[in-house]
Structure 1
Amino acid sequence: MTTATATAGTTAVATAAPLHVTGAGVVSAAGYGLAPLGELLLKQGELEKSPVGEDADAYPPRPVRAVHGFDVKEHLGRKGTKYLDRLTSFGLVACKEVLEGAEVSGGRTGVVLATNTGSVSTHSSLLYDTLTLEKPYLVNPGQFPNTVMNSTSGQIAIRNGLRGLNATVAGGQTASLLAFRHARLALGLGRAERLLVGGVEELSAPAAWAWHRTGVLREDAALGEGAAVFTVQQDPAEGALAELLACEVRFTPDPRHYAEGLANAVSRALDRSGVRPEEVTAVSLGAAHHRGLERIEERGVRAALGGELPRAVRVADVLGETYSASGALQLAALLALWQAEPPASPVTALVTSVGRDGNAAALVVRSPR
């Protein structure tokens, strides 16, 4: 739902009705749930920086923030988990957290999940087997479903009996915020009553080498993995974790104007939320440690907020670069901090993201009332 607002001498802007976050499931290097993430952000504690898995020895010389000790069977049991890849396992465990104890109508509950290419490790291992095994290329057929980009969202729906809208959004750095934008449109059109919205990313040696060789990250920047999924609905709910106001996205083809594109997205999101720039108390930034983009993002936010940069939250400082899941984990960081240090009265924050492809996005979030 939207309502039209206007002031004398200005163009009417449709104000977005808030969406309510009623649950959150997080899998990250900090642990499971919001509480460990909040503690890590406040204390800036140290995490293990070594990779995990069968390809751990093949990683480049770069710090890594992996989810250590993760075993999907401990969370979901042995049935149906034999061929699950790490990406899908993260998504399923995060959704188990967010749905635990909740009464969900499967027919009107759907999934909107952000990713980039699906499981890079599965793609790489199957390609390697195809090229190296004897003919007729006896690859493991049980792994093939994991090569499909929407495998994780499909598995989430199947395991939890969710028969509503099911969408996978691929958008690189901005994928998670694009997913929230998609969810807002779907709920506004009545396509579902409730959506599980978030992002997921896994670590692997091939992906780590891609980051390392391109040089787009600072040398000391860590690589991370994890998932954050949120239950989002239009109806107000007792004990909601946050309100999601407007989410706006922009594409700017000229790299010289990326900051202007982000500033435009932020300003539009604030207008549609009915929020003045000076009311923003924090911004959760997504381009931390990205060469060039980090300053572009800060410059775009400053331009939209009148030159000031409020409290900056950089979840990548503690969890590493999580790419398509970064926007979801940026939101999780805000919610974790609000839980750890509840504000005396509702406050408003921004989640921003900007990519090297010219996409930029901004989400306006309000703390619980």
Structure 2
Amino acid sequence: MTTLAVTEPSTHAGAGAGPLPGVVPLDIVGAGVFSAAGPGLAALADLPGGATAGATAGATAGATAEADGSWPPLPVRGVTGFDAEAVLGRKGLRGLSRTDRLAMAACLAAATGAPGGAGERTGIVLGTDVGSTAAQADFFRDTFTRERPYLVNPSAFPGTLMNSAAGRTAIRLGLTGLNATVSGGALASLHALRYARNALVNGHADRLLVGGVEEASAAGAWAWHRAGALRSGAALGEGCAVLVLRAGTAGGADRSAGDGEPLGRLLACETGYADPVAEGPLGVAARLAECVRTALLRSGVTVGEQPLVVPGAGARRGWAAVELRSLREVFGPLPDSRAVRVDGALGETHAASGALRLATVLARWQAGAGDERAAVLTAVGQDGSVGAAVVTRPARA
């Protein structure tokens, strides 16, 4: 995917100029969230850094890793208050992985009460890393431990596929429209937002359930631990956030009667890449800064408006500094009142991070906190992938 290269455009001088001509905003009209803070947007609003922006939240939410030796010595932020049977019913849960259950429950919560309904023009775009690491590890372990490699449980195989969650959720909810799974590591949620934006703007769907999902498992935790990818004391997290998006207009005149004001409006989502080996961390930081400037330009949001900044690499060793350098290059010094950091409370949620941070911004606005008009979300991956999204506050808030 390509992005428009922007340095410091003169159009940034004016405040609140609105998005560039031809930029179609996406209304966010529903949300379903399950995280270490608890179910729903309201739980995210209660986080330090949620309804009250500022310092990183303390490491008190969720659960710690099991002490039976199957988990590494890492703090883990498990999803709080999640009961799949209570949300989805008992039927059909037996063959579902934790990733499947989280995604299905979040999609159901997002779709419930949101304008529109199921059908061929409603679909799902889900960001993930590799799918369910636990399901994959268990299945492939069986190929070594069974008497013969092919004596595995065939019913377990669908759960190992990356698109299992999106496919099974669409079947359960009766959604016959566009169905896509986007793998992108730390950028997965932003890639999903960008994919959904292109699909809606180009008329391939009327309404999309878009988000990211990440499960906590012993296999995945060992990978993080052995790689030394988390900073000292950082927790591994899990969760899922799904937003209901539909194409809007600059003035919101296309809303049907009874739809009400959206939770927020997605105006831009830009992604890019810089080779971390050839160009180094400074090259990655420069590419991220370019993505942020491009997203701001497309959105008509200026640096002078002091938008809320929501970084995503705080729990990852080394990459938080790269991300912070980019943000300072664009915005200058960032006081705590202008930054939201939730990795301390939610943990490193990887593929779900972008969606959960966007949900945290929406929760903040629902709670009436802050006076910013817009928020900028950023992400940087270990492979040099970078991205930025801009969302604006609903008028009533």
Length-normalised TM-score, structure 2: 0.85
Counterpart for residue 50 of structure 1:
64
CA distance in 1, matches of 2:221, 2:306: 35
SS of residue paired to 1:58: coil
Distance, in Å, in 1 between the alignment partners of 2:214 and 2:126 is: 11
What corresponds to 2:270 in structure 1? 248
| 8 A Cα contact 1:39 1:340, kept in partner | no
- Tell me if structure 2 keeps the 8 A contact 1:277–1:306: no
On the 8 A contact 1:26/1:229 being kept in 2, the answer is yes
Contact 1:62 1:219 in 2 (8 A): no
Q: Which runs of 5+ in 2 are unaligned?
A: 1-8, 12-18
The C-alpha deviation readout for 1:133-168, integer Å capped at 9, x for no partner, is 223643222211011111111112111111111111
Matched, 1:31 2:57: no
Matches of 1:97 and 1:132, distance apart in 2: 39
What does 1:254-293 align with in structure 2 at a 5 Å threshold?
254-255=279-280, 256-293=282-319
> Which residue in the other structure is 2:88 paired with?
76
Instruction: Name the amino acid aligned to 1:243.
Output: R
Question: 1:318-337 maps to which residues of 2 (within 5 A)?
Answer: 318-337=345-364
Contact 1:110 1:162 survives alignment (8 Å): yes
Q: What residue number does 1:365 align with?
A: 391
The one-letter amino acid of 2:364's match is L
Alpha-carbon separation, structure 1, partners of 2:374 and 2:360: 14
CA 71–141 in structure 1, closer or farther in 2 if over 3 Å, else same: farther
- Matched with 1:3 is none
Paired residues of 1:112 and 1:183 also in contact (CA < 8 A): yes
Is 1:189 aligned to 2:205, yes or no? no
Q: Which of 17, 21, 24 pairs up with 2:28?
A: 21
- Contact 2:106/2:242 (8 A) holds in 1: yes
* In 2: Cα distance, 1:352 partner to 1:146 partner: 30
- Give the root-mean-square deviation of aligned CA atoms: 2.2
SS at match of 1:313: coil
Q: Distance in 2 between matches of 1:68 and 1:21?
A: 25
Q: Tell me how far apart the structure 1 counterparts of residues 314 and 201 of structure 2 sit (CA, whole Å).
A: 32
The yes-or-no answer on 1:159 pairing with 2:186 is no
User: Are 2:329 and 1:315 aligned?
Assistant: no
- Highest relative contact order (Cα 8 Å, sep 6+), 1 or 2? 2
Contact 2:25/2:266, CA 8 A, preserved across alignment: yes
Match of 2:125 in 1: 112
Provide the TM-score with structure 1 as the length reference: 0.91
Rate the CA distance shift 1:160–1:343 in 2: closer, same or farther, 3 A: same
Distance 2:385 2:194 in 1: 13
Deviation digits for residues 5-31 of structure 1 (CA, Å, limit 9, x no counterpart): x989xxx96552211000000011111
| Residues 14 and 257 of structure 1, relative CA distance in 2, 3 Å threshold | farther
The size of the alignment, in residue pairs, is: 359
Point out the structure with the larger strand share.
Answer: 1
Q: Which moved more, 1:307-316 or 1:234-243?
A: 307-316
Alignment of 1:290-305 (within 5 A): 290-305=316-331
- Aligned equivalents of 1:297, 1:7: Cα separation in 2: 24
State whether structure 2 residue 88 is matched by structure 1 residue 61.
no
**Runs of 4+ off more than 4 Å:** 12-15, 42-45, 306-310
Contact 2:35 2:80 in 1 (8 A): no
CA contact (8 A) 2:224 2:230 kept: yes
Partner of 1:85: 97
Q: Percent identity?
A: 48
Measure how far apart 1:341 and its partner are: 3.1
Amino acid at match of 1:205: A
Q: Partners of 1:182 and 1:157 in 2: how far apart?
A: 17
My pick for the range that moved more, 193-202 or 334-343, is 334-343
Equivalent-residue separation in structure 1 for 2:98 and 2:213 (angstroms): 10
